[in-house]
Structure 1
Amino acid sequence: MAYDPAVLRRASARLEGARKARQEDLSRRRKAIYAQVPELADIDRQLKGTILDIISSCLRSGTDPGPALGVIKDKNMALQARQADLLQAAGYSPDALSDAPACRKCGDSGWVGARMCDCLKALCAEEQVKELSKLLDLGEQCFDAFSLDWYSPLPWPGEAMSPRENMEFLYELCLNYAQKFGKFYFKNLFLTGDPGLGKTFLSACIARTVAENGFSVVYDTAVSVFARFEEQKFSRDVEEGQEAGRETRRYLNCDLLILDDLGSEMTTPFVQSALYTLVNSRLLHGRATVISSNLSMDGVRARYAGQTASRLEGEYRVLRFYGEDIRLKRKQRL
């Protein structure tokens, strides 16, 4: 999973902050308990001493360390039992003085060897959802909130299925795509149809579910994406160009890119080139992309270069939306 560096930094900072907070809380708790039950402070010192005793015993040469280790172990167990009794008598849990990490797999480091631990992955997923929320109202945009009631059950001119039947099929496909991301038989989706039919809503649902499952997701509009490519290449401001470069790398390297409203941008030769770079690079590296557009495939072929149109048509599963404008229907009911 290609986590965005900024997301990983924020998640790692949260993990480290939580670890420090636990250590500070443990330190305060120990002081309070030792003040209340002084014997516990002495037991704690003795328990730490037994560890040194064990190490010393193992390093002695010329004698069998077994018996000494057995005595030290018995002493240690007796001290722990006495500690637990004193803690319970004072109204604390037996592990109130324990400094065990919250995550035993990684010891709160976030990593098990070179592999990211599940605890850090979970924080990365939360940070990604926060990132998406800057563009999307993820409070409402989820699969459970999607309603087929807005779509007509009546036949639609020139179509074998009614808008509702079609949307039921599209909904199920998008849901499975998101829930089985990386294992679904379609890697790339192209959502096409008139405005107000649910393309952006379902795109947002996909983004949320895939991000919550721990994959890196970038959701942005075509206008914004191509503006970033242009800033990277032509900006005279070094800092602005570097920031744009970081953004374009996110577009190219994330696990899932959702490009919203393709066709709303000014289709200049530079945009043609940037779109080809984006689409082709992600295909070559096996990274998934979801594109939504008001353009039909005929419109894509007419507007974009042949190589780009060919890749979109050949490598993407086209999902066609049709029916009445849902936004207008909702507005009329208000």
Structure 2
Amino acid sequence: MAYDPNVLHRATQRLEEERRARQDRVERLRLQAYARQPRLERLDRELQGTMSQLVAAALRQGEDPAQAVREIRERNLDLQKERAVLLGAMGLPEDALDGKPACPLCNDSGWQGAKMCRCLQNLCTQEQIKELSKLLPLGEQSFDTFRLDYYSQTPYPGRGCSPRENMELVYEVCLSYAQKFGRFSFKNLFLSGAPGLGKTFLSACIARTVSESGHSVVYDTAGSVFGQFEARKFQRDSQDGQEARDETRRYLGCDLLILDDLGSELTTQFTQSALYELINTRLVAGRHTVISSNLTLEEAGRRYSPQISSRLEGEYHVLHFFGDDIRLLKKRQL
């Protein structure tokens, strides 16, 4: 998984800050304990001394170190028992001053060899959701809060089923896509329908679930995405151009890209080229994409180049959204 460098930086910074905060708390507690029971400080110094004696005895040449090691270990255990009694008398566990790591898997480094540890991965997920929340309404958007009762049970003209029946299927596909991300039968989704029918809501649900499973997710609107591609090409020597290069790398390299509102942009030869690069690069790399649009797949085929149309038709599973505008229904209920 390829987390955005800014997300990884913030998560790593939080991990380090939390580690330092724990160390500071243990050190304050140590000083308080020593002040209440000075014998503790002497015991800790003696315990450190026995460790040095153990090493020296084990390395000693010309004599059998077994007896010396045994005596030192016995002395060490006696000191530990006395220390535990003193700490217990103050209502503290025997390891209260040991400064144990919060994550025993990586000792709070965030990495197990070259593999990211779960503790850092969880922080990356939190930071990524914060980032997504700047553009997507993730506050209460989840599959559990999705309401099918907004969709009519009356058969919809020309569709052969009601909006409710259709959305039950759409919901199940989106839920399975998110929960089985990378293992589901469809790699890419094309959410097609008029505004106000739940495309952005379900996109947010997918983004949250996939992000919480430890994958990198990027959401942006088509207009913003193409704007970054344009800045990368025409402002490459400026600060904006450098930032645009970073953004386009995110679009191309994340585990899941959610491209919202395709078709709302001004379609030019450049946007066609940028869209082809985006779709084709991600397909070749085996990365997953969810596109939402007010266009049908047929309308997208007429609007974009044959190369784009072919990839949309061949590699994307279409989910149709139809019915009454949910936003208007909610407004009427106020």
After TM superposition, is the score higher than 0.5? yes
Q: Shorter-chain TM-score: what band?
A: over 0.9
| Structural mapping, 1:130-279, within 5 Å | 130-235=130-235, 238-279=238-279
- The answer on 1:55 being equivalent to 2:49 is no
- The answer on 1:38 being equivalent to 2:27 is no
* Counterpart secondary structure, 1:272: helix
For 1:137, the aligned partner's letter is P
Q: 1 CA distance for matches of 2:251 and 2:67?
A: 63
Correspondence for 1:90 = 90
Q: Cα deviation per residue 1:232-278 (whole Å; 9 max; x = unaligned)?
A: 11126611100011000000000000000000001100000000000
Q: 2 CA distance for matches of 1:177 and 1:225?
A: 23
> Contact 2:236 / 2:242 at 8 angstroms: preserved in 1?
no
Q: 2 CA distance for matches of 1:139 and 1:168?
A: 23
* Counterpart secondary structure, 1:320: strand
Aligned-pair CA distance for 1:160: 2.5
Q: 1 CA distance for matches of 2:220 and 2:320?
A: 21
| Structural mapping, 1:109-120, within 5 Å | 109-120=109-120
* Counterpart secondary structure, 2:283: helix
* Counterpart secondary structure, 1:87: helix
* Counterpart secondary structure, 1:292: strand
Gaps of 5+ in 2: none
Correspondence for 1:20 = 20
Correspondence for 1:330 = 330
Aligned-pair CA distance for 1:214: 1.2
For 1:238, the aligned partner's letter is S
Q: C-alpha root-mean-square deviation of aligned residues, in Å? A: 1.0
- The answer on 1:284 being equivalent to 2:284 is yes
Percent identical residues = 62
Q: Cα deviation per residue 1:137-184 (whole Å; 9 max; x = unaligned)?
A: 211211111100100011111222211011011101101111111111
For 1:314, the aligned partner's letter is G
Q: 2 CA distance for matches of 1:318 and 1:287?
A: 17
> Contact 2:106 / 2:112 at 8 angstroms: preserved in 1?
yes
The 1:236–1:127 alpha-carbon spacing in structure 2 relative to 1, beyond 3 Å, is closer
Q: 2 CA distance for matches of 1:208 and 1:72?
A: 55
Correspondence for 1:102 = 102
* Counterpart secondary structure, 1:257: strand
Aligned-pair CA distance for 1:63: 2.3
Q: 2 CA distance for matches of 1:66 and 1:318?
A: 74
Correspondence for 1:305 = 305
Q: Cα deviation per residue 1:179-214 (whole Å; 9 max; x = unaligned)?
A: 111111111100001111111110011001111111
| 4+ residue runs over 4 A deviation | none
| Residue-pair matches, total | 334
For 2:56, the aligned partner's letter is S
Q: 2 CA distance for matches of 1:24 and 1:166?
A: 57
* Counterpart secondary structure, 2:318: strand
Q: Cα deviation per residue 1:9-62 (whole Å; 9 max; x = unaligned)?
A: 000000000111111111111111001100000110111112111211221122
TM-score by length of 2: 0.98
Q: 2 CA distance for matches of 1:252 and 1:133?
A: 20
Q: Cα deviation per residue 1:84-129 (whole Å; 9 max; x = unaligned)?
A: 1001112222222111111111111001111111100010010100
Correspondence for 1:123 = 123
For 1:242, the aligned partner's letter is Q
